[in-house]
């Protein structure tokens, strides 16, 4: 029997990615398929807590197995920040035009005043906080936690970690978020300078999904 699994996102690209990577006799659904489900607040202190809360909360709300994830950047010199606040590290923008101009100077290109602008502002804040920090203390990692839950309990949890350094300036046009300032020493490139295939082969999300797949296959068999 085909198993319905909800992916706790409205991002169709993320759903398509999971469908391709996890395969199986599964009908994948997204939050946009359930208009009346209230949003689950991500107020946990760790990535694991946030992924677990979303998976259990949405599973109970819709009565289906649910996959949720939480991920972000952890910088040692900043005491683990931005951590679970990675997506909102720069906080709200009061003057979009002024902030946009300042943020655009970080990577030398123009972005629309939306999620891309928030990414630029987050990058700007990290680079400012890291000014003067020597290279040996610029260690950081991306972390991704994935949780699958039924309405009653957690079924699977996996974690992927991607180690690197915070660059002194942004470089690269690919990726999103903090990719332009996350430097991979053995490749001598930032993540934003990698192709999608190169990134997926070593990324925190790719690692978490590769650990997740055999556990899901076992659960479904």
Query: To which residue do tokens 């203390």 refer?
Result: 137
Tell me the longest C-alpha to C-alpha distance in the chain.
58
Kindly write down the DSSP assignment for every residue of 37-79, as one continuous string.
PPPPP---SSHHHHHHHHHHHHHHHHTSEEEEEEEEEEEGGGT
Catalytic residue, from 25, 33, 69, 70: name it: 70
Judge whether 179 counts as a catalytic residue.
Answer: no
Q: Which residues pair with 156 in a beta bridge?
A: 148
Cβ neighbours around 22 below 10 Å, total: 17
Q: Are 39 and 18 in contact (CB under 8 A)?
A: no
Tell me the two tokens of residue 131: 């000014």
User: Which residues are within 8 A (CB) of 23 and not within 5 positions of it... i.e. 6 or more apart?
Assistant: none
Active site residues: 70
């Amino acid at each position: 029997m085909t198993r319905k699994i909800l992916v706790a996102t409205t991002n169709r690209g993320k759903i398509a990615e999971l469908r391709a990577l996890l395969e199986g006799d599964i009908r994948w659904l997204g939050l946009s398929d359930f208009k009346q489900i209230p949003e689950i607040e991500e107020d946990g202190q760790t990535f694991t807590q946030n992924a677990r809360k979303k998976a259990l909360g949405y599973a109970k709300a819709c009565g289906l197995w649910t996959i949720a994830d939480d991920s972000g950047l952890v910088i040692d010199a900043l005491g683990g920040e931005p951590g679970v606040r990675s997506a909102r590290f720069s906080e709200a923008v009061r003057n979009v035009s002024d902030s946009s101009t300042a943020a655009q100077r970080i990577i030398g290109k123009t972005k629309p005043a939306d999620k891309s602008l928030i990414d630029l502002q987050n990058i700007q804040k990290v680079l400012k906080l890291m000014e003067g920090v020597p290279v040996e203390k610029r260690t950081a990692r991306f972390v991704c936690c994935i949780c699958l839950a039924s309405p009653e309990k957690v079924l699977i949890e996996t974690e992927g970690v991607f180690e690197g350094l915070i660059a002194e300036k942004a470089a690269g046009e690919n990726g999103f978020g903090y990719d332009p300032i996350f430097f991979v020493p053995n490749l001598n490139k930032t993540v934003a300078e990698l192709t999608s295939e190169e990134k997926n082969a070593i990324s925190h999300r790719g690692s978490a999904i590769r650990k997740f797949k055999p556990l899901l296959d076992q659960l479904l068999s």
